[in-house]
Structure 1
């Protein structure tokens, strides 16, 4: 994505097209529309949230001192989607011992993804349309043009999540577990809120065996967290991680996972997606340099995430247990905030981490031949696609 940054200030009255109606694209559209720009969002699926199934996701709240909902409010985005701030949860170590993690402020906001009322995707669509944005569905873009912002979602799968959404009588809570038998190079999680739940294995390799890891995850949480599921419905998702050089393609800003903006350690990408949407919009409105803006705002945290992933890949059970204990012994939000600061030591490790962190994530089990993993079922495999 090597291209000079164009000066859009002289063409500010022209129609701006955004490819993709995910959170990045819709936030970008809302910011532009509120700055009196004419905006069209072009989405090749029939509705928003097509990759999701009303499953719970976390909007992380630790990579910046500012609360993420306040950050959205400053950009003109209302938090009118269903959400709940979680200040505590349980992490299991390698011996299935529980460690309570907690923060004085929310560690993350629990929200729902998909097309259902109350989901993040549905709420952002309504805000965009209320601001005057034209959203076209079933409209696939095959070539870029001027005044276009690319927000088409993941180009490949570095992470997949496979799980169930369900109804339950369980009390609200959040549980996290690690182990190669549950999620190789990743983690398993259970989220319950107001009678609804999501359980999943988030795996970074071994995609062909996703059903095996999901079954092990369900069994684990049944034993250790009292998981009870009614009306379970399967779901799957995937994410793309990379550190872009410019996040420009053919002179157009690229935002969200289309550019690879994703936390390399845990796959939390929502905050990055929406912030890049805001930054791209502001670059068009103000005539500023989008690449410079995201580098200043996001690159330190993204780089720290790459080092975190590199270290995680080389940490054994004992090391992981030590880190879990550290999370539980202190304000977890503060510990995580420190982990995502690009310290002097992490700067030294970064070149090696960038070179090596992806190697263990290359999923040689999946060659896209007779494979039923989430990516092979639903991914965008056309390398020529916008």
Structure 2
């Protein structure tokens, strides 16, 4: 691809902006085309975690190595409390941060706003309100999730609670997933992260908040409801119509817990590096992202098979050893996980179909907020590979 060729990136999420930053600093002309009117439009200043366990290298060092500054508000957490389905609590901790707490959305100090500022400083042109109907330029697709395999719903709020991180397991509060409570400097986020039961999300959110009131002392002021969604799958090549596909548009997200920010940024950086060097993008992502993505799919399958007994065993294991080491080993593509992968992939070959939601007269997060396959591109361009 000639240096004078303009590269268009469809989507201004972490994957698209990270890709744009690396390309622009490599001397390429880059335009990011975002169909919403602002960055981080899917988020509500809610707390999220930038995971720090899928690599021996600290994630902030990983960002710095490719020229992305951690100039967004962030705070390391190396400990937290996990509750099993019987409400028994376990303190989990690591020798280094398990994750970095950050905020998402268009506001000041968020990850999204920081990446936007870095992209513009690098010379990237960012067009908002640009809904792509045709896409003839050389470029990259980064338009976000194509369907909802997981949703999160809850509240952001002000509080006098102490800083902390709490996670709770059990199908009553979060079917197939987990509920979480994150508090830092007088603000918090509480949510149910569900892999099924979308239509009943309001009931699960209430159950989650009641649980954390009883077991973590949840106190909320000026609570504002929020909701989000994500998708995961293992693509064949992460190409569509001759374009590279990155981030959740390609399905690059952890299938077990729904952590996707690090995968998104990694994939954007990989795509940019391949354009700059002429390397094979498919070979790079399959080598560098593929093992943990495959392990995540097997982990999701095993989580479903294990039920509440498996959840209790996992909680005990996390509390007994260094939680970061336990989680890192969980994403190693061991011989067992390689053997189990075909069964797991068969189960999750396509997006999770939630029988509780027909998407007709429904008020679930996906039906209220999802783009239902449009996401700023036509069907041919936007199709997940």
TM-score (structure 1 length as normaliser): 0.96
CA distance in 1, matches of 2:140, 2:276: 13
Describe the superposition over 1:38-58 as per-residue Cα deviations: whole angstroms up to 9, x where unpaired: 100000000000000000000
Shift in Å, 1:367: 1.7
- Spell out structure 1 runs of 4+ moving beyond 6 A: none
Describe the superposition over 1:280-328 as per-residue Cα deviations: whole angstroms up to 9, x where unpaired: 0011111111111100100000000000000000112222111100100
CA distance in 2, matches of 1:105, 1:122: 27
1:97–1:361 Cα change, 3 Å: same
CA distance in 2, matches of 1:360, 1:145: 28
Aligned residue for 1:3?
none
CA distance in 2, matches of 1:323, 1:57: 22
1:338 aligns with 2:314: no
1:295–1:358 Cα change, 3 Å: closer
Q: CA RMSD in A?
A: 1.2
Aligned residue for 1:285?
276
Aligned residue for 2:146?
155
- Structure 1 residue corresponding to 2:120, chosen from 122, 129, 138: 129
- Structure 2 residue corresponding to 1:265, chosen from 234, 246, 256: 256
Do the aligned residues in 1 keep the contact of 2:34 with 2:129 (CA within 8 Å)?
Answer: yes
CA distance in 2, matches of 1:143, 1:170: 49
1:166 aligns with 2:166: no
CA distance in 1, matches of 2:368, 2:241: 30
- Structure 2 residue corresponding to 1:83, chosen from 71, 74, 80: 74
Show the 5 A alignment for 1:71-220: 71-220=62-211
- Structure 2 residue corresponding to 1:222, chosen from 191, 200, 213: 213
Do the aligned residues in 2 keep the contact of 1:12 with 1:284 (CA within 8 Å)?
Answer: no
Aligned residue for 2:16?
25
CA distance in 2, matches of 1:157, 1:356: 16
1:63 aligns with 2:54: yes
Indicate the SS of the match to 2:214: helix
CA distance in 2, matches of 1:315, 1:382: 32
- Structure 2 residue corresponding to 1:54, chosen from 27, 45, 55: 45
Indicate the SS of the match to 1:50: coil
CA distance in 2, matches of 1:55, 1:125: 18
CA distance in 1, matches of 2:164, 2:212: 12
Gaps of 5+ in 2: none
Describe the superposition over 1:142-184 as per-residue Cα deviations: whole angstroms up to 9, x where unpaired: 1222311000001100000001000000000000001110010
Indicate the SS of the match to 1:316: helix
- Structure 1 residue corresponding to 2:225, chosen from 234, 240, 258: 234
Describe the superposition over 1:20-74 as per-residue Cα deviations: whole angstroms up to 9, x where unpaired: 0000000000000101111000000000000000000000000011001001001
CA distance in 1, matches of 2:190, 2:310: 25
1:373 aligns with 2:361: no
1:353 aligns with 2:344: yes
Shift in Å, 1:362: 1.9
Indicate the SS of the match to 1:365: coil
Do the aligned residues in 2 keep the contact of 1:39 with 1:133 (CA within 8 Å)?
Answer: yes
Aligned residue for 1:320?
311
CA distance in 1, matches of 2:324, 2:266: 20
Aligned residues: 377
Indicate the SS of the match to 1:190: strand
Do the aligned residues in 2 keep the contact of 1:61 with 1:67 (CA within 8 Å)?
Answer: yes
1:42 aligns with 2:10: no
Do the aligned residues in 2 keep the contact of 1:84 with 1:109 (CA within 8 Å)?
Answer: yes
Do the aligned residues in 2 keep the contact of 1:309 with 1:357 (CA within 8 Å)?
Answer: no
TM-score (structure 2 length as normaliser): 0.96
Do the aligned residues in 1 keep the contact of 2:232 with 2:351 (CA within 8 Å)?
Answer: no
Do the aligned residues in 2 keep the contact of 1:300 with 1:342 (CA within 8 Å)?
Answer: yes
